[in-house]
Structure 1
Amino acid sequence: MDKLIIIDGNSIANRAFYALPLLSNSNGLHTNAVYGFTTMLLKLIEEEKPTHFLVAFDAGKITFRHKEYTEYKGGRAKTPPELSEQFPLIKELLQAFQIPQFELTGYEADDIIGTLTKTADELGEKVLLVSGDKDMLQLASEHVTVAITRKGISEVELYNPEAIKEKYGLTPKQIIDLKGLMGDTSDNIPGIPGVGEKTALKMLHEFGTVEEVLANAGSLKGKMKEKVEEHAQDAIMSKELATIFREVPMETGWSSFRYAGYDGQALSGMFRKLEFKSLLEKMDFTSGVETEDERILVSLDIEVVTAEHVNELLISLGDSAPIHVEVVGENPHHSEIAGISFYIEESEKCFYLSFELLMSEAGAPVRDWLSDASKKKQLLDQHRAELALAWQGVQLRGVDFDVLLAAYLLDPTESNLTLSGLASKYGLPSMKADEEIFGKGAKFRLPELPALSDHLCRKVYTTARAVPVLREDLEKGEMNRLFYELELPLAGVLAEIEMRGIKVDAADLKALGEELASKLDTIMTRIYKLAGTEFNINSPKQLGEILFEKLGLPASKKTKTGYSTDAEVLERLAPYNEVVGEILNYRQLAKLQSTYVEGLLKEVRAETGKVHTYYRQTIAATGRLSSQFPNLQNIPIRLEEGRKIRKVFVPSEPGWYILAADYSQIELRVLAHISQDSNLKEAFLQNMDIHTKTAMDVFGVAEDAVDSNMRRQAKAVNFGIVYGISDYGLSQNLDITRKEAATFIEQYFAVFQGVRKYMDDIVKDARKDGYVTTLLQRRRYLPEITASNFNLRSFAERTAMNTPIQGTAADIIKLAMVQMAERLKQDGLRSRMLLQVHDELVFEVPEDELETMKRIVPEVMAAALKLDVPLRADVDYGLTWYDAK
């Protein structure tokens, strides 16, 4: 028998959005609803193994019900833009899953679902209907099971007619009578005032239907009799509104919903775009997929270099050549080099050189050529190559073009930033992806020499063909300065910083781990005492049994997977019992222990005693750097225990200091310059506290009347404006109503009219040009800015507003890094740059250079880019990174 799964698309998207914290990818695209929707789809596919699948959506706000009752759904709050912008992504995701979707103008998803379930009943086909709306219970039947989500979307309750009878004492059809009597505030269905679920159920158990309740109103007593008689028509209309229409004119047949599985390539691409890294790692998109390769690969003249022919290679290379260094492994600090390939344009010949030969005595002339800055090289990825070679004692100098960097600048939202992907995008010679040659994950293997040399030569050949194309596009896009003066030199600066690393006091880190372990033991003992028994705190099953069965805390009905004990559930339960707060504290400290103590200890390199992070230069659409192996930009500093982790980062030389310089409110200063808002500029020119100034202007009070709450609200709106915050987002940040948040934003724009004008103008410019730029001409294309879809267009508009601000701030800190590296060399200083963390630069400094560095670091940072308001960097120092803040 077939099994059709139908998902109520709007309902599940809403549930997922409010169940998960606001998540976004590096492009600023909110993804929490999409992530929740994705996990539900994967779970349903795995557990239910459907033969047919459909997701139904509302086609628009106006339906036939509005003609009958103009106030239908009139009480609903406007959908937050953070959710609206995710609907197009969910629909794109469904295409990758190859799951059919359907909507029809004038009808709600409920009506489409009602029509399909009626068809299923007629055909005798099995249906699982997934929704967050209990109205759907009216559709339950012998063939249709309704799954209603609980606790967001992580759990569902299954309803067939027997389960509805057990819970409500009603048949599925009587659910509409229940709604007719009690109404539904979420849909603005009136019902009978004063009749709640309990009263409505009592009436229906006695009389059966709304009509019979009204016919027997005379037998009711007191005010209830008056209310029923007075609102009889409301009850009839409410029942009609709650009745799902099951005769939608649908031309699609049952066979249209057949589900054959997802498109692995499309889905993995979608996951990369959304940055669902955990799902990418969890799923194997390559296993069992065999496709016939119809690509025509160009014929190459390849020579595998031997020791006797190294000189021939050098003569051919001359003063400039495209090269490719094949770095094997995700982390270039712990990678192997599979070989190097070179392409000679004049002879149209490729050379392959093994790593063993490169490192041998015979390979010395090639090593010298690589380290000679006068010999110009063009690479796919300078940064990775330079790092991997440096760990082998080989310098890479003289790089004058980086294909990945150029492609990233030309389109920072490109999700397939690989050579094979770029070849396809730019119409370059076709080539196979690395995964096809090497395999992926546990299946990764280096092929034998003929296949290896062929693939590496194809990579350098494609690199050579990409260089002139990308050079021309950079010129057209006016990004030469950004590329040649900022991003390209920065790649070398980053490699130097990463090779240098930052010293970790492993003994102190272990001591911190022991301190955390001791605190965890103390908290564990308290938890056991409060719970009255010992159990595994890390086991959701055991924890759920303790909280909800032994301690009797309020919980929804237990499902087959047990009780949910996620952070949202625990925070809701915290006021009920002291043990919940202790469990939350335990989890926070346990994460610090595992991720930042044990995790950092694993990353300390034995031969250096340091951690060597890796900065990704081509990830964030805003231009920001991203740190990994380990991520030193995400060390938590809100908890004192988290801040203490910075204590283990120390100078690598005795008698030296850690010095940290942090830009002060750089994005707001950039906003003041770009918007030319007089009030905002005045605050920075007068060196006022910007949040106090905003509070004064918005609340209309003197400086001494600004209290801490006013400043907190002003700070939230100041930073929120930079990120295009909505009334919903601000209400969540400040724990106020959406109406209050909207009023606050209106007051802000009434004062800072230049900011409002900038935001209006930049959206107009983006609509005209199709992109926005930073002050250094970093470009971000916004094709959705003219989309007819409101949600896509709204997201693009907010991106247009904040990209010039965030992107310029990213450019400034990068400029400061390049200029600071040059200044250190120019002045012959021994001080070293160690880290970039958001708007902060970290150095290690000898004592005799401390005063000099305290002067020149903020000087260089302030002068990185001239604005109409001063840039300012605050400097501090100490014996550890913790002391320098």
Structure 2
Amino acid sequence: MSLKRFMVIDGNSLLHRAFHALPPLQTKDGIYTNGVYGFLTMLNKIVEEYSPEYICVVFDKKVPTFRHKEYTEYKANRAKTPDELIMQFDILKDVLKKLNITTLEIDGFEADDIAGTLASIGEKEGLETILVTGDKDYLQLATENIKVLITRKGITNLEIYDEQTVKEKYGINPNQLIDLKGLMGDKSDNIPGVPGIGEKTGIKLIKEFGSLEGIYENLESISGKKLKERLIENRLQAFMSKKLAKIVTEVPINVDLQELRKREPDYNELIDLYRKLEFNSLLNKIRKNTEDNQASDDLVDIDCNYEIVQDLGVIDSIIQSINKNKSVYLKFIQGDKIIGLTIKTETTKTYYIDLIEEDFKEKVLLKLKDIFEDENIEKKGHHLKEDILILLKNKIHLKAISFDSMIGQYIINPSQNSYSIKELAKEYLSVYIKDEDDILGKGKNRKKITDIPLEDRAKIFSVKLEIVSKIENLVKEKIQKYNMNELYYKVELPLVEVLAFMEFEGFAVDIEKLKELGEEFESKMTELTEEIYSIAGEKFNINSTKQLGYILFEKLELPVIKKTKTGYSTNAEVLEKLKGEHPIIEKILEYRRIMKLKTTYVDGLLSLVDKKDNKIHSTFNQTVTTTGRISSTEPNLQNIPIKTDEGRKIRKVFIPSSEEYKLVDADYSQIELRVLAHITDDPNLKEAFYNDEDIHTKTASEVFNVPKSDVTPLMRSRAKAVNFGIIYGISDYGLARDLNISRKEAKLYIESYFAKYKKVKEYMDNIIKEGKEKGYVTTIMNRRRYLPELKSRNFNIRSFGERMAMNTPIQGSAADIIKIAMVNVFNELKKRKLKSKLILQVHDELIIEAHKDELEQVKQILKSQMENAFKLSVPLKVDMKIGDSWYETK
């Protein structure tokens, strides 16, 4: 018969673990929540897995314990708890209160003493106790019925110990771990132990003599003069350390076990608190667990009047309504193929048109083609890029997009984790809706959309479209309030169509050349492998951190830069620091570079080439970056290497789709520095761009106080690092590291720069102040980036916020300009009905696949539209190149 379970959780330990494992999550009000969120994620996981009947969370109190009185230096070397974590203890305790989970903290004792006492009580009551912690000191408490669940890496990896597991791992009984700590000490708690005795020696002694007392009773039997001397000299310290290490199991606890029974949470209060903390995924979990609970009434499916359409006759009446309203909301549903279409107007119900039958689908699309392509009928939806792509594949061009809720919410809050309709429904309407994940599940057991009944499909997607129509005005009002109408209607919405067309067109790839490149890299790796073996004097697995660590730090005796829990670190940072120490380092770095090119780019690209047209159809993401930049995935074409000769070769495989075309690459010249000149209004900086001077040579002349004619290539290179470093808010430490110079010299460069460009310094100081006051900074198009980090008491977090405050208006404004240029170039190509197509955007450059007969027109369009995209106080300049591959245009 299995025992009832009692779960005791070390609150301090788990909250610390979660805080350090997760990035610094914050609410819109700047409240840090990563520790609490991670704690609750672990709590849900272990409660679900172990189903305890009793539960309690124990905490340390901020007062000295009996251990501090015993030894004043106890825990004296602990780093100060970050303010961002301190604020989360009270939040966590508030959440636990709403969850109806008892918390305990007692003056003079630590959390582990309370936990140990509760475990002892549980054992006496015939319960199986599970102690949850990240602290291995708890292992001393393990018995047959007291198990210790240790958090390992991150917040999901857990390892359980009982008495037998401890014996297997350490070779001694759990209670003997107290004696071991008396010998070893504990750096984290500043317990001294016996200097020079580590785990291996300690375990050996305890195995031989049973306990600390047994060791001191048999000192004469101990071999090793030094070891014996250390034990004799530190006798008192060893016994004190054992006392400090022993977890007390008789703390005076004034609580009845029945008070610790697991109870249902106070759902109403918990929902309010989770909303305040913006724990949307945890709100979802409440919904799933409480569908029959009245407390979750405000988390219900929204009312939606919908009709399933399988008859062409109904399509005609829908078309009449759309023509009358002059606007339509729409969303296609796609699995392996088009499955359905939800469609509605402001005055009609929502229609779910079932398109599984191919013949019916074609007839419906044919009937709706004129509606979709009518520029006088506004199209509204969520993530409309998907719908444009679906229609393009069916030779239909969706025109006149006037509202996209995903894009609207992105510019309102670019730091949001998700822009799903489900999230927007919660934020704007305070309602919960089921989406595909709720119905289909996740992971390998996820069902296909076609596996669920038609009625369920119709309801899910009709409700989603209903949400879009209900939040439209709320989203638009916020955009207007934030003064972002121009950004939304003139830049971001038109860009949806541009990106969809770029994805649809794709970029042609020379498959044979790509395979040849793979063979070339494979050959180079083989050659490098043999050279590395020769230098090392033996064969080994170059990709094994452990084997490489042995070769570098034991066999070749190179200086150890960094150690990890598992051994020597051999990461890129370590190898870069070892450059020049031994010829093997350069070879390993080169081997890694070539291997990355082979696996990431050659093998990766080959797997992504569309076999129908030999093109790469990357996905362009409009709602990912906080600065407004576009990103690309599958593959990331913005990350194709350019700094090394081998890396640049990857670009040779990207070619025009036929011999009738050429690639035209138009690249903004130093756009971020031009934006900096515009924003700061610095006369010295602006002068360089007015006169079309080389800005890096000018900066070198200013910083090093020499005539331009005397600027050396090294001076220019360093000035370039300063110019771009200033944009990114670089510190003297960062510049020193980048240029491999002293911090003092780097500081001098930065000070000299600011002395010459005074308005830049003034701007940097003011933008940080402004960001702190407003809570956000903006670009030239009023794009916002929220920066709660600026108010952090943690120096590193605050410094990050300051760098982002300085950089975002510059990088974000450059992103605004390139987006305007993309829209204008795309529209001009379309207006002139040219065969040439915009196929790629990478940071500050646009690539057009231009028909040979249209080359001059394309060049003129690119120059005109890019250089006049936005009126800066300094001229925008574009450099252009033409070639038969992307490589040739660089």
- Tell me the TM-score normalised to structure 2 length: 0.71
Separation in 2, partners of 1:708, 1:9: 54
Which one of the candidate residues 439, 442, 447 is aligned to 1:443? Answer: 447
Q: 1:449 to 1:49 in 2, by over 3 A?
A: closer
Aligned equivalent of 1:877 = 882
Separation in 2, partners of 1:246, 1:725: 53
Aligned equivalent of 2:338 = 337
Q: Is the CA contact (8 Å cut-off) linking 2:122 and 2:129 kept in structure 1?
A: no
Separation in 2, partners of 1:316, 1:760: 56
Q: Is the CA contact (8 Å cut-off) linking 1:4 and 1:53 kept in structure 2?
A: yes
Aligned equivalent of 1:568 = 571
Query: Is it true that 1:472 corresponds to 2:474 in the alignment?
Result: no
Letter in 2 for 1:342: I
Separation in 1, partners of 2:471, 2:813: 28
Which one of the candidate residues 484, 489, 495 is aligned to 1:484? Answer: 489
Aligned equivalent of 2:381 = 379
Aligned equivalent of 1:360 = 362
Aligned equivalent of 1:346 = 347
Separation in 2, partners of 1:672, 1:57: 54
Superposition deviation, residue 249 in structure 1: 13
Q: Is the CA contact (8 Å cut-off) linking 1:313 and 1:351 kept in structure 2?
A: no
Aligned equivalent of 2:647 = 642
Query: Is it true that 1:324 corresponds to 2:330 in the alignment?
Result: yes
Q: Is the CA contact (8 Å cut-off) linking 1:63 and 1:105 kept in structure 2?
A: no
Q: 1:501 to 1:250 in 2, by over 3 A?
A: farther
Superposition deviation, residue 825 in structure 1: 3.8
Question: Structure 2: 5+ residue runs without aligned partners?
Answer: 203-211, 213-240
SS in 1 for 2:637: coil
Query: Is it true that 1:631 corresponds to 2:636 in the alignment?
Result: yes
Counterparts of 1:670-681 in structure 2 under 5 Å? 670-681=675-686
SS in 1 for 2:638: coil
Letter in 2 for 1:340: L
Aligned equivalent of 1:228 = none
> CA deviation digits over 1:105-164, x for unaligned, max 9?
999xx9767887799799999999988x999999999999999999xx9999x9x99999
SS in 1 for 2:888: coil
Separation in 1, partners of 2:61, 2:801: 22
Q: 1:582 to 1:810 in 2, by over 3 A?
A: same
Q: 1:438 to 1:432 in 2, by over 3 A?
A: same
Which one of the candidate residues 713, 725, 728 is aligned to 1:723? Answer: 728
Q: Is the CA contact (8 Å cut-off) linking 1:306 and 1:357 kept in structure 2?
A: no
Separation in 1, partners of 2:18, 2:753: 31
Separation in 2, partners of 1:105, 1:631: 54
Q: 1:566 to 1:304 in 2, by over 3 A?
A: farther
SS in 1 for 2:571: helix
Q: Is the CA contact (8 Å cut-off) linking 1:322 and 1:464 kept in structure 2?
A: no
Aligned equivalent of 2:309 = 304
Q: Is the CA contact (8 Å cut-off) linking 2:55 and 2:101 kept in structure 1?
A: yes
Counterparts of 1:824-835 in structure 2 under 5 Å? 824-826=829-831, 829-835=834-840
Q: What is the number of equivalent residue pairs in this alignment?
A: 831
Q: 1:669 to 1:117 in 2, by over 3 A?
A: farther
Q: Is the CA contact (8 Å cut-off) linking 1:509 and 1:648 kept in structure 2?
A: yes
SS in 1 for 2:846: strand
Which one of the candidate residues 783, 786, 802 is aligned to 1:778? Answer: 783
Separation in 2, partners of 1:4, 1:59: 17
Q: Is the CA contact (8 Å cut-off) linking 2:542 and 2:548 kept in structure 1?
A: no
Aligned equivalent of 1:659 = 664
Q: 1:365 to 1:858 in 2, by over 3 A?
A: same
Superposition deviation, residue 673 in structure 1: 1.4
Q: 1:154 to 1:428 in 2, by over 3 A?
A: closer
Counterparts of 1:474-623 in structure 2 under 5 Å? 474-527=479-532, 540=544, 544=546, 548=550, 552-553=554-555, 567-568=570-571, 571=574, 582-623=587-628
Aligned equivalent of 1:214 = none
Q: Is the CA contact (8 Å cut-off) linking 1:54 and 1:99 kept in structure 2?
A: no
Q: 1:120 to 1:716 in 2, by over 3 A?
A: farther
- Tell me the TM-score normalised to structure 1 length: 0.71
Moved more, 116-125 or 717-726: 116-125
Q: 1:286 to 1:521 in 2, by over 3 A?
A: farther
SS in 2 for 1:883: helix
Letter in 2 for 1:354: L
Separation in 1, partners of 2:869, 2:497: 18
Which one of the candidate residues 373, 393, 396 is aligned to 1:394? Answer: 396
CA RMSD of aligned residues (A): 6.7
Separation in 2, partners of 1:246, 1:714: 65
Q: 1:718 to 1:190 in 2, by over 3 A?
A: farther
Separation in 2, partners of 1:714, 1:114: 59
Q: 1:671 to 1:844 in 2, by over 3 A?
A: same
Q: Is the CA contact (8 Å cut-off) linking 1:137 and 1:175 kept in structure 2?
A: no
Superposition deviation, residue 700 in structure 1: 4.5
Q: 1:145 to 1:581 in 2, by over 3 A?
A: farther
Separation in 2, partners of 1:479, 1:87: 34
Separation in 2, partners of 1:747, 1:307: 74
Q: 1:707 to 1:140 in 2, by over 3 A?
A: farther
Superposition deviation, residue 835 in structure 1: 0.3
Separation in 1, partners of 2:505, 2:465: 29
Superposition deviation, residue 686 in structure 1: 3.8
Counterparts of 1:176-215 in structure 2 under 5 Å? none
SS in 1 for 2:624: coil
Separation in 1, partners of 2:860, 2:19: 53
Letter in 2 for 1:323: Y
SS in 1 for 2:596: helix
Superposition deviation, residue 817 in structure 1: 0.7
Q: 1:122 to 1:297 in 2, by over 3 A?
A: closer
Separation in 2, partners of 1:789, 1:549: 40
> CA deviation digits over 1:564-599, x for unaligned, max 9?
686528945967876666555444333322321222
Letter in 2 for 1:416: S
Aligned equivalent of 1:215 = none
Q: 1:256 to 1:837 in 2, by over 3 A?
A: farther
Q: 1:351 to 1:492 in 2, by over 3 A?
A: same
Separation in 1, partners of 2:874, 2:314: 60
Identity in percent: 37
Which one of the candidate residues 405, 408, 417 is aligned to 1:406? Answer: 408
Aligned equivalent of 1:432 = 434
Q: Is the CA contact (8 Å cut-off) linking 1:498 and 1:613 kept in structure 2?
A: yes
Separation in 1, partners of 2:309, 2:110: 67
Q: Is the CA contact (8 Å cut-off) linking 1:72 and 1:188 kept in structure 2?
A: yes
Q: Is the CA contact (8 Å cut-off) linking 2:378 and 2:401 kept in structure 1?
A: yes
Superposition deviation, residue 775 in structure 1: 0.9
Question: Structure 1: 5+ residue runs without aligned partners?
Answer: 203-207, 209-237, 277-283, 330-334
Separation in 1, partners of 2:158, 2:318: 64
Q: 1:105 to 1:813 in 2, by over 3 A?
A: farther
Letter in 2 for 1:374: N
Superposition deviation, residue 453 in structure 1: 2.3
Q: Is the CA contact (8 Å cut-off) linking 1:111 and 1:246 kept in structure 2?
A: no
SS in 2 for 1:841: strand
Aligned equivalent of 2:216 = none
Letter in 2 for 1:341: T
Letter in 1 for 2:825: M
Q: Is the CA contact (8 Å cut-off) linking 1:486 and 1:814 kept in structure 2?
A: yes
Which one of the candidate residues 804, 808, 812 is aligned to 1:807? Answer: 812
> CA deviation digits over 1:503-553, x for unaligned, max 9?
111111111122222223333444555667766665x4xx73576399954
Aligned equivalent of 2:422 = 420
Letter in 2 for 1:396: L
Moved more, 140-149 or 697-706: 140-149
Superposition deviation, residue 804 in structure 1: 1.7
Q: 1:525 to 1:793 in 2, by over 3 A?
A: closer
